[in-house]
Amino acid sequence: MSADMIQAAFRGQTGGFDIDVAFTMPRAGVTALFGASGSGKTTILRAMAGLGKLEGSLQVGDAIWQDSARGIFKAPHERPIGYVFQEASLFPHLDVADNIRFGEKRALRAGATPPVFGDIVDQMKIGRLLDRAPHTLSGGERQRVALARALMRGPELLLMDEPLSALDRRGRDDLLGCLEALHREARIPILYVSHDSAEVARLADHLVIIEGGRKQAEGPASTLFSQLDFIPPDGRAEAGVILEARVQDHDSTMQLTHLAVNGQTMTTPAIEAPAGTEVTLRVKARDVAIALKKPEAISIRNILEGTILEIRDADDVGHVDVLIDIGGGQLRSQVTHDACNDLQLKAGTSVFALVKSMSFDGPGA
């Protein structure tokens, strides 16, 4: 197995159903264990931490944390992990600073070199909270402190169990911002449990879809979300795609930002991110129109060249979903049967995709 990968396989009975799952995740970025409530996600996460004794194996790079066939099982305290729960489990008798330093002490006892305290505090934006007691914090603040404590352990793997589920909108947005910064600035692999498709679309690089204790699909998030037959576990995601983009430059006169997307350029109202910053775009199928020739004298600014890969009937009666290759990335468009027939669209047709709207995740969003 590559030293850049984490390989997990677990089996056993728990909570009234069987777990039988195997998956591989990169040792960088965010991998989402994505599934409906009660599908076994948390059970799998606990097995990764050594808290639930399922049979199986777990290899992190070259290190073997579990191999039931060979009698290998590292106890939780022997695994260099950070764990953030749904509810922040802070010590009520310690202030914020001492809660965070508890993670540092755990790292030192394990012989690891913890991160610099001030760096973690700055990264989580909690400097003003250090002398506060946990009961005086908002839900979002408590979760940021819990994440800081987990990071102070210097983990080789960060496990997060639906950390946004108990937060209000402001708390969710604050913590999402911290997670996105962590994603950009650190190379700690994160295994993130969620049943929320919007959350996963915003954060995840890699998906492992779980249903009834079993893996249903696995792969890059951008690939799975763009597939015409992909239905997320929560059933709420609107048809669309995730695109990776890079900030090229800014036009201060026109208040615009230019983005490089699969060898083409897109323009958006100015965002606060320096040139070279990686950002994630979400484009809904209903916001993409199709033309056979490049339109002129039109208000839509983002027109991308592409080739149709696939056409399928959409869930909406009278419409079809069109999957378009734009030079390595993909867009989805939803058009009427009438428009599809009139334009004689089929796989292999060269088209221009007119992107009317998009949303941002990451810096400047």
pLDDT digits (tens, 9 = 90+) for 217-267: 899 888 887 775 566 665 555 678 888 899 999 999 999 999 999 899 999
- Please write the tens of the pLDDT for every residue from 327-365: 988 899 999 999 999 999 999 999 999 999 988 765 444
Residue 2, pLDDT > 80, answer: no
Residue 105: pLDDT over 50: yes
β-partners of residue 336 are 319
Q: How far apart are CA 194 and CA 192, in angstroms?
A: 6
The Cα 163–Cα 172 span in angstroms is 9
What was the pLDDT predicted at 364? 46
Separation of alpha carbons 159 and 40, rounded Å: 15
What are 160-213's pLDDT values in tens digits?
999 888 888 888 888 888 888 888 777 899 999 998 887 888 888 899 999 889
pLDDT digits (tens, 9 = 90+) for 23-54: 999 998 999 999 888 889 999 999 999 998 79
Confidence at 317, pLDDT banded by 50, 70, 90: confident
Radius of gyration of the chain (CA): 23
Whole-model pTM over 0.85: no
Mean pLDDT of the chain: 88
Fold agreement (5-226, 240-357): no
Q: What is the mean pLDDT of residues 104-123?
A: 82
Q: Which residue has the tokens 């108990």?
A: 166
Written as six digits, the tokens of 272 are 């606060």
Q: Which CATH superfamily is domain 5-226 in?
A: P-loop containing nucleotide triphosphate hydrolases (3.40.50.300)
Q: How many helical (H) and strand (E) elements, i.e. helices and strands, does the chain have?
A: 8, 21
According to DSSP, the residues that pair with 6 across neighbouring strands are 25, 60
**Domain range summary for the chain, segments of one domain joined by +:** 5-226, 240-357
User: Of all helices (H) and strands (E), which one includes residue 142?
Assistant: helix 139-151
Alpha helices for the chain (secondary structure H): 41-49, 96-109, 117-124, 139-151, 169-185, 197-203, 221-226, 337-343
* CATH number, domain 240-357, options 3.40.390.10, 2.40.50.100, 3.40.50.10490, 1.10.287.3510: 2.40.50.100
Helix (H) or strand (E) holding 240: strand 240-251
